[in-house]
Chains A and B, each alone.
Chain A
Amino acid sequence: AQSVDQPDAHVTLSEGASLELRCSYSYSAAPYLFWYVQYPGQSLQFLLKYITGDTVVKGTKGFEAEFRKSNSSFNLKKSPAHWSDSAKYFCALEGLLFGGSNYKLTFGKGTLLTVTP
């Protein structure tokens, strides 16, 4: 079984501050991890992914994420935050489906980020 937990349903911070959105996962093998963003009224957009190698991965829009195997986390970071970063962020894990040969993406419930000007 695989699961993703985003413990913070809502995060609010001021423009210029550093943001860190938390994500933890549970999976028995090497994980493939993703972050997606959903701006108000829009669909999901890919931000970045971790497959293997460097534990800090950089994505679009100035975001980066750090994979930590020791505590099964993949936190998203950006500094400084901008009001336009206000959106819902989803962490996702791609893992083997039902022990077979097909992979599937399991999403967390998302974190709604509000950046105040």
Chain B
Amino acid sequence: GGIITQTPKFLIGQEGQKLTLKCQQNFNHDTMYWYRQDSGKGLRLIYYSITENDLQKGDLSEGYDASREKKSSFSLTVTSAQKNEMAVFLCASSIETGGVYYAEQFFGPGTRLTVL
């Protein structure tokens, strides 16, 4: 088994601020993901990474940067926080299976962002 940890658990920022969220996994998984979960909506993919130093944009990458410097960690930066923004950011990881990604994803507990 393994675990995904996300820090911080709660993040409060000011409008225009640059904010960084961190994710660590000890599954030894190749692929890691960042999703945004808004109330009443499904999860939307922000960025994903199939290996160390690889970055791929998802549907919602505008306004975000990501970094994968180690296999076990994946960071997400909100480049300029939007006023009244509230969302949960979920990190996930999965094992690569022969180049076809139908392996299940394991999710972290989330970081809840509030922008004042």
Residues on A facing B (Cβ under 8 Å): 4, 9, 32, 34, 36, 42-46, 49, 51, 90, 94, 97, 101-110
Contacts and interface: CB of A to CB of B under 8 A. Distances in A.
A44 B90 contact: yes
B110 A108 contact: no
Given A42-B109, A43-B109, A49 B41 contact: no
Contacts of B101: 94, 102-104
B42 A104 contact: no
A106 B49 CA distance: 16
A42 B9 CA distance: 12
A105 B56 contact: no
Please report whether the interface of chain A is mostly helix, strand, loop or mixed according to DSSP: strand
Contacts of B41: 109
27 contacts: A34-B104, A43-B90, A43-B107, A43-B108, A43-B110, A44-B43, A44-B90, A44-B92, A45-B107, A46-B105, A49-B102, A97-B56, A101-B99, A102-B48, A102-B101, A103-B100, A103-B101, A104-B48, A104-B58, A104-B101, A105-B43, A106-B42, A107-B42, A107-B43, A107-B44, A109-B40, A109-B42
Contacts of A9: 40
B106 interface: yes
Interface footprint category on B? 20 to 34
Contacts of A51: 102
Given A49-B104, A102-B48, 16 more contacts: A9-B40, A36-B107, A43-B108, A43-B110, A44-B90, A44-B92, A44-B107, A46-B104, A51-B102, A90-B43, A94-B101, A102-B56, A103-B101, A103-B102, A105-B33, A110-B42
Given A102-B56, A102-B101, A104-B58, A4 B107 contact: no
